């Protein structure tokens, strides 16, 4: 009985959600569009009728939500709404691409095909995972809507992530922070990027996320009062001057506050720019720029600006199409306040990205070409990509998600390069041959090395020499994918030449040992040395790493292979076998157990201690490494190598000690070091390994390394240290930050 009532309620709810979807898309509907959307909706309802989500809800809620995000939050049209409704049908149901093409035409079919190709986001192996991302970018070259719908799909999955198991939550959230949020940023989808980052943080570092949300809620009334006080005088004069404006305060996202706390090492209470004031003017296209500068002039009559904090993205928009004028001014209560000034068109593009550009097509041809330029850069990267998909993803992240700067050639042409790029990157950006022969550069007429990091506005003249060729060191200081790919290609060619010489050297050494230089013998020798290819053997022969000693061993092995079999078998454990062995029957690694057969280490990059939320990661050569879930490297590991991750928990029965680092800052009072060491020595069961202190102009900073049993134990110690007169802040630091 109850089930039929539920079904009735669900039917009503499905129709209700469909009506909301039509309302969201109404503004863009043309003749016949409504019928097409209805057709797609009915097909999706029928196709998914027996499926349910992890939450227990009917599966159809998900495609409707994805289509709703496409229409309402990205501002896409009918084609994308239809694709959003049908995005899972080909993969999960009996419906084929041919059916889709017959009902909705080739364009819809192509987008659904693109979405189906990249659907395997939760594959078990890292290379497939990375390959999926590469496929996604290939489809981006065909139709950017594939990526936009994929981002809508990911956003809805993140919004409903509560119903997933904890290990899946961490994996999906890490992948979101690692790939999808930067991709949304690069496409100018600011609102979606912000929400993806906040939700990513919520599931990877729940405690910190909740703490920031709580503090934001507590300080909201105070903020509102301040914003009101700041806005009132400006509003009055802007109206007087005939401007039509919306002025409001925008709180900073939880994720950006978290980054500030983490990177600058300041507590929440000391972050002054928790919000930005946004002024959006209703201007005619030809007056946008002058209106923004006039508003800037009015504001700076009221409040003193910080000259070095003026950002003009109206004259030179960001690579993702973002246009705005930013200034930071001293507010009425002695706080710095960021003010963003833009037109309504700029605001919509800033929030919704390229989909909004299409709405302003007549005036946005330049932005369209910027998008085309970005996509052609992706194509170029895909063509010259490394075989290793994971290296490719890392390069891709570094380049296409990086902030960009503008530099100039000696003739005054402006070029865009990623922030952090070096003179050598710039050389490869101009032409690969110039890159390969580059010996240095003149930046603003001064001689600089290849590794010199360029700054915005630099004028760069490149110096070359025919004798120069790429070397391994170059890979250490270039950051663009183009430069890396070209250098690796040149090095491979060089390696091939050396290997050709090595082949002759090895042949002579084989004959000296009375060994025939046959294809079979070379292959057997390669296997014996456990090397990947015969070319690697020849290269090592040329470098004198493989020589007579190894050949003699090989001859012994050929005479008595049985002596080598046992040794060989002992060593050959695949990563998959190690994972299975580590996971065991319970699928859980318990840290602190007497596990003689399993070798695990606590990772130095985040120094986990009992009480931390942790996972095990199976490495190829060093057994299992234990990382904190909020470790700086966790997102990358969880996003790319999910199949190597082992669930881990601490064994509470054993009292083991772990090394943790604590940073203490304060005012340099008399006897403060003595008081701090006294607290540590009287604290139950805490041993100190090292202590360093540095004082400058009355401020001291110290790092103490102590042995503790758990996070609880460490928190107790930190709280006691905070009570020492003169101590201002005590914080735990990760392994990588012990500076």
Closest Cα partner for 164 from 135, 203, 190? 203
Contact yes or no for 617/681 (Cβ under 8 A): no
- Residues 529-549 as b or e (16 or more Cβ within 10 Å = b): beeeebbbbbbbbbeeebeee
CA-nearest of 379, 243, 353 to 298 is 243
Residues 352 and 191 sit within 8 Å (Cβ to Cβ): yes
- Which whole-number Å values give the CA distances from 383 to 254, 389, 391, 495, in the listed order? 38, 13, 14, 22
Contact 683, 622 (CB under 8 A): no
Question: HSE of 308 in the Cβ direction (CA atoms, 13 Å)?
Answer: 0
Q: Which residues contact 508 (CB under 8 A, 6 or more apart)?
A: none
* Measured distance CA(402)–CA(124) in Å, rounded: 29
**Angstrom distance (rounded) from CA 18 to CA 499:** 65
Would you say 71 and 100 are in contact if contact means Cβ atoms under 8 Å apart?
no
Quote the CA–CA distance of 200 and 169 in Å, as a whole number: 9
Is 362 annotated in the active site?
A: no
Q: How far apart are CA 493 and CA 571, in angstroms?
A: 33
Structure-token match 């309620």, residue found: 9
- 191: number of CA atoms within 13 Å, CB side? 18
Q: What is the DSSP string of 113-175?
A: HHHHHT--TT-SSHHHHHHHHHHHHHHHHH-THHHHHHHHHHHHHHHTGGGS-HHHHHHHHHH
What is the C-alpha to C-alpha distance for residues 469 and 463, in angstroms, rounded to an integer? 13
CB-based contacts of 205, cutoff 8 Å, min separation 6: 258, 629, 630
Catalytic residue among 7, 46, 91, 214: 91
On whether the CB atoms of residues 463 and 440 are closer than 8 A, the answer is yes
Residues whose CB falls within 8 Å of the CB of residue 655, separated by 6 or more in sequence, listed in order: 709
Angle between helices 145-159 and 61-68 (to 10 degrees): 120
Structure tokens at 709: 């049993």
- In whole angstroms, give the CA distance from residue 100 to residue 90: 9
Q: Nearest to residue 188, comparing CAs of 22, 363, 278, 313?
A: 313
Helical (H) or strand (E) element with 591: strand 589-591
Distances (CA, A) of 356 to 81, 279, 371: 15, 19, 12
In whole angstroms, give the CA distance from residue 515 to residue 526: 14
CA-wise closest residue to 485 among 578, 410, 572, 399: 399
Relative to beta strand 275-281, strand 336-343 is: parallel
Question: Both tokens of residue 473?
Answer: 């060191």
Nearest CA-CA partner of 162 in 191, 194, 197, 202 = 202
| Distance in Å from the first CA to the final CA of the chain | 67
Q: How far apart are CA 682 and CA 721, in angstroms?
A: 11
Q: Is-catalytic flag, 91?
A: yes
Write down the catalytic residue from 92, 99, 344, 386: 92
To 5 degrees, how large is the angle CA 592–CA 597–CA 603?
Answer: 50
Q: Looking at the annotation, which residues are catalytic?
A: 91-92
């Amino acid at each position: 009985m109850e089930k039929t009532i539920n079904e009735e309620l669900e039917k009503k709810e499905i129709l209700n959600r469909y009506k909301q979807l039509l309302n969201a898309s109404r503004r863009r509907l043309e003749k016949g569009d409504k019928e097409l959307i209805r057709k797609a909706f009915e097909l999706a309802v029928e196709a998914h009728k027996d499926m349910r989500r992890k939450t227990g809800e009917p599966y159809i809620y998900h495609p409707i939500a994805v289509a709703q995000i496409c229409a309402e939050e990205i501002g896409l049209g009918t084609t994308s709404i239809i694709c959003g409704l049908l995005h899972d049908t080909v993969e999960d149901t009996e419906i084929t691409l041919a059916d889709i093409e017959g009902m909705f035409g080739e364009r819809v079919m192509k987008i659904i095909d693109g979405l189906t190709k990249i659907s395997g986001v939760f594959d078990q192996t890292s290379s497939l995972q990375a390959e999926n991302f590469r496929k996604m970018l290939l489809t981006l070259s065909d139709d950017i809507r594939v990526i936009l719908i994929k981002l809508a799909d990911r956003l809805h999955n993140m919004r409903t992530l509560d119903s997933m198991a904890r290990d899946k939550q961490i994996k999906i959230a890490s992948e979101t922070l690692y790939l999808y949020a930067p991709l949304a940023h690069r496409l100018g989808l600011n609102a979606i990027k912000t929400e993806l980052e906040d939700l990513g943080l919520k599931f990877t570092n729940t405690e910190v996320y909740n703490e920031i949300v709580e503090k934001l809620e507590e300080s909201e009334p105070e903020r509102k009062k301040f914003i009101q006080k700041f806005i009132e005088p400006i509003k009055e004069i802007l109206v007087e001057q005939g401007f039509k404006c919306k002025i409001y305060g925008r709180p900073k996202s939880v994720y950006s506050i978290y980054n500030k706390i983490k990177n600058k090492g300041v507590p929440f209470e000391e972050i002054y720019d928790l919000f930005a004031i946004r002024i959006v003017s209703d201007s005619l296209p030809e007056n946008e720029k002058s209106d923004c500068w006039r508003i800037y002039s009015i504001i700076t009559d009221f409040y003193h600006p910080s000259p070095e904090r003026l950002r003009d993205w109206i004259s030179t928009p960001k690579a993702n199409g973002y246009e705005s004028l930013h200034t930071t001014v001293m507010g009425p209560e002695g706080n710095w306040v960021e003010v963003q000034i833009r037109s309504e068109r700029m605001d919509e593009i800033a929030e919704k990205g390229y989909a909004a550009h299409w709405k302003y097509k007549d005036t946005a041809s330049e932005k369209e070409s910027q998008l085309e330029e970005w996509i052609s850069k992706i194509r170029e990267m895909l063509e010259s990509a490394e075989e290793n998909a994971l290296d490719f993803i890392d390069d891709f992240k570094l380049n296409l998600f990086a902030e960009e700067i503008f530099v100039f050639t000696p003739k005054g042409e402006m070029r865009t390069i990623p922030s952090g790029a070096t003179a050598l990157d710039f050389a490869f950006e101009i032409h690969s041959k110039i890159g390969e022969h580059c010996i240095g550069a003149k930046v603003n007429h001064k001689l600089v090395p290849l590794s010199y990091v360029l700054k915005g506005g630099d004028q760069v003249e490149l110096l070359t020499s025919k004798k120069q060729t790429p070397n391994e060191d170059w890979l250490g200081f270039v950051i663009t994918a183009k430069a890396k790919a070209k250098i690796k290609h040149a090095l491979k060619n060089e390696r091939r030449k050396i290997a050709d010489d090595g082949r002759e050297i090895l042949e002579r050494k084989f004959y000296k040992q009375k060994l025939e230089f046959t294809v079979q013998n070379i292959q057997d020798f390669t296997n014996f040395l456990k090397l990947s290819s015969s070319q690697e053997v020849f290269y090592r022969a040329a470098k004198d790493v493989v020589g007579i000693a190894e050949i003699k061993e090989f001859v012994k092995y050929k005479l008595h292979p049985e002596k080598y079999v046992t040794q060989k078998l002992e060593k050959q454990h695949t990563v998959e076998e190690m994972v299975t062995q580590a996971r065991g029957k319970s699928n859980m690694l318990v840290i602190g157990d007497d596990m003689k057969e399993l070798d695990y280490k606590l990772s130095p990059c985040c120094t986990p201690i009992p009480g931390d939320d942790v996972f095990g990661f199976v490495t190829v050569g060093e057994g299992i490494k234990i990382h904190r879930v909020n470790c700086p490297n966790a997102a990358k590991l969880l996003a790319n190598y999910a199949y190597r991750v082992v669930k881990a928990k601490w064994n509470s029965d054993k009292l083991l000690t772990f090394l943790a680092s604590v940073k203490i800052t304060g005012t340099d009072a008399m006897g403060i070091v003595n008081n701090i060491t006294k607290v540590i020595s009287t604290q139950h069961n805490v041993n100190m390994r090292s202590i360093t202190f540095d004082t400058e102009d009355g401020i001291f900073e110290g790092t103490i390394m102590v042995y503790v049993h758990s996070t609880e134990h460490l928190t107790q110690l930190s709280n006691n240290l905070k009570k020492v007169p003169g101590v201002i802040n005590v914080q735990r630091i990760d392994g990588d930050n012990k500076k």
